[in-house]
Every structure is written in C-alpha cells, then in structure tokens.
Amino acid sequence: MSTILGIDIGGSGIKANLVDPATGELKAERFKLPTPNPSLPREVAEVVGKMVEHFEYRGSVGCTFPAIVKDGVTLSAANVHKSWIGCHAAELFASTTGQEVLVVNDADAAGVAEVAFGAARDRNGVVVILTLGTGIGSAVFLDGRLLPNTEFGQLHFAGRESVEDWAAASVKDTENLTWTAWATRLNAFLGHLDQVLSPDLFVLGGGVSRKWDKWAHQLTVNVEVVPAALRNEAGIVGAAVLAARQFDQGR
C-alpha cells in the first residue's frame, strides 16, 4: 500500500490526509471539519464518510478515536457522546464509507507516529507520549513497543475527577490561564507520572506543542521532555501506519 487515508477524530475537530505509511509523509493538503455537536455515532460517521469522499479515496482507512478501543469497539467516551460506549466503531465507519477501517485510540496512534518517525524514534526505555488538547491522551512504549489504551488523562489528580479537567490544553482557554499558570499545572502532573512510571522520556503533542517556546521553560520535572515532532498531524500519520500494518497482514 503506497498511500493510506488517515483520519483523526477529536473532541472539537475531525481531520484527515493521505499518508505514505513507509515514510510518514503527508501526500495532500489536510482536510478538516468540525466534530458534530452532539457527537453521536451516526453523525460522526457521516463526517468520516465526507473525509473519504473529499479525497476520492478507495482503500484501507486508519481512524483514531478519543476512547479505549478494543477490536474496533469503543469502550469509553471521555470527550464525546456517551452513546459511543460499546459501539462497534470500525463496523459503523466501514458501512458508511464502503472501505475497511481500523479504529484505534487517538493517543496510541500519535505515539506510534512519534516512535516511527518523530521525537521518540530510536529511543529505548520507557517513553510516555501525551496529547494535550480537549483532553489529555496518553501512550506508553517500552523499547518501541506499545502498551495500548492507557488513559492517564482520566487519573484523579489535584482534587479533580480527572486530571484533564485541570491540565488539558483546553483548560487554559476555559479558565483564562496564562501560559505560566497552565504549564505549572502540567509540570505537577508530569512530576506525578515520573514518580509512578520512572519514564526515560516525555513527548508532548497536540496543538499547544506549536507554541513550545511560550511554556516549556516552566517544566522542571527531572525527565527529558521534548515536543512532538509531528505536532498535530501525528494522529493522522499513526492511524495510517497502523492500518497499513493491520490490513497488509495476510495479503
């Protein structure tokens, strides 16, 4: 497969692009539409269909989703409608698009891209990748191998039911925090993860990674911390890579 369509479903937007899964190279201009509100399964599936139509694409599709995903079924719904819990998303998207679709956790996909082509390439040991956006996604790798479906954003922290309600990038805007105030919160959470996991590297992604110079100096955790190299495109790339691996097998 020379080109795979990668789709990244987020709490506020759905974006897609064609990807060379062997190199991670984007082959077209990114296409983005808002996530439906409410983000019901059928409505989101219609947007996924529009992504396929936009690129006039026929072939395997890799699609991320902000939830625990096992065998194509979404088992949680932190930043989307609760009706996704127990939904067979892969079958739903396949029926809408007419293509075979692999659905994976969004942060896992971003992590796979960073390990394959980005900031965690050729890095051994324990690598923790966090995607900072509407919520906080997480991916954990040991010597390049993924431990799937971690949900560190759902950890209780700082008196909150979930740390993403306190330190996600979206909180900076909703609470009108300065970069310093927000990054101080994130630094505290990184320190907690350091105590629990003793990682060798943190990779921080999401849209805020584009403004790394505004807040990175506030991170004092005693672990190497770097911005995601693929920035906000990592989910698209990782989804395409994982779809290529999945659907190439047995062919």
* Residues 164, 208 share a domain: yes
**What is the domain extent for residue 186?**
122-228
* Residues 79, 10 share a domain: yes
Q: What is the pLDDT along the chain (251 residues), one digit of tens a residue?
A: 589 999 999 888 999 999 999 999 999 999 999 999 999 999 999 999 999 999 999 999 999 999 999 999 999 987 789 999 999 999 999 999 999 999 999 999 999 999 999 999 999 999 999 999 889 999 999 999 999 999 999 999 999 999 999 999 999 999 999 999 999 999 999 999 999 999 999 999 988 999 999 999 999 999 999 999 998 899 999 999 999 999 975 45
Q: Are strands 145-147 and 31-34 parallel, antiparallel or unpaired?
A: unpaired
Three-class HEC string of 64-77:
EECCCEECCEECCC
Report if residue 76 sits inside a domain.
Answer: yes
Report if residue 192 sits inside a domain.
Answer: yes
Q: What is the pLDDT of residue 12?
A: 85
* Residues 134, 62 share a domain: no
Q: What is the pLDDT of residue 106?
A: 94
CATH number for the domain harbouring residue 181: 3.30.420.40
Q: Please state the pTM of the whole predicted model.
A: 0.93
Report d(CA 42, CA 94) in Å as an integer: 12
* Residues 51, 92 share a domain: yes
* Residues 101, 28 share a domain: yes
Q: What is the pLDDT of residue 115?
A: 98
